[in-house]
């Protein structure tokens, strides 16, 4: 009988370690093919403030971290990323950031994923895509 609490304790520790290592405590991502662990690993291994985590359905998906200024920091990272491809920021409305280039419009949308991380969805926009 004394072994039962010990065995239960060991099993609980193993489960807790498994959940922590695989980052199962993060909510699911709005995209398929990328786990929360893969997204976090990609971000943590990069020196960049915004990191591409997937390309799905004609959109590029990025992850970035909010800082002391909240969503303003995230918006600045997105503006810098898209401006590097020649797009001009026009306005922000809700969770959408609107850009224009050569008469075309591009809308980048953000979604709070956790308290500290934001997922960004941007239609393909770089010079290697069709304009």
Backbone angles phi, psi at 61, to 5 degrees: -115, 130
pLDDT at 73 over 90: no
pLDDT in tens, 27-70: 888 888 888 889 988 999 999 999 999 999 889 999 999 887 67
pLDDT tens column, 75-121: 999 999 999 999 999 999 999 999 999 999 999 999 999 888 999 99
Q: Name 59's bridge partners.
A: 56, 123
Q: What is the pLDDT of residue 131?
A: 35
DSSP collapsed to 3 states, 53-83: EEEECCEEEEEEECECCEHHHHHHHHHHHHH
Name the pairing type of β-strands 117-123 and 50-56: unpaired
Put simply, whether the predicted model's pTM sits higher than 0.85 gets the answer no
Look at residues 66, 69, 67, 36 and name the one whose alpha carbon lies nearest to residue 53: 36
């Amino acid at each position: 009988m004394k072994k039962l609490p010990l065995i239960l304790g060991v099993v609980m520790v193993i489960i807790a370690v498994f959940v922590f290592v695989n980052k199962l405590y993060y909510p699911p991502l709005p995209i398929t093919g990328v786990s929360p662990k893969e997204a976090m690993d990609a971000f943590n291994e990069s020196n960049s403030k915004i990191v591409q985590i997937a390309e799905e359905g004609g959109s590029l998906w990025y992850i970035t971290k909010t800082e002391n200024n909240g969503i303003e920091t995230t918006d600045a990272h997105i503006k810098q990323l898209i401006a590097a491809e020649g797009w001009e920021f026009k306005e922000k409305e809700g969770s959408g950031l609107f850009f224009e280039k050569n008469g075309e419009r591009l809308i980048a949308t953000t979604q709070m994923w956790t308290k500290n991380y934001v997922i960004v969805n941007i239609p393909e926009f770089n010079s290697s895509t069709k304009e």
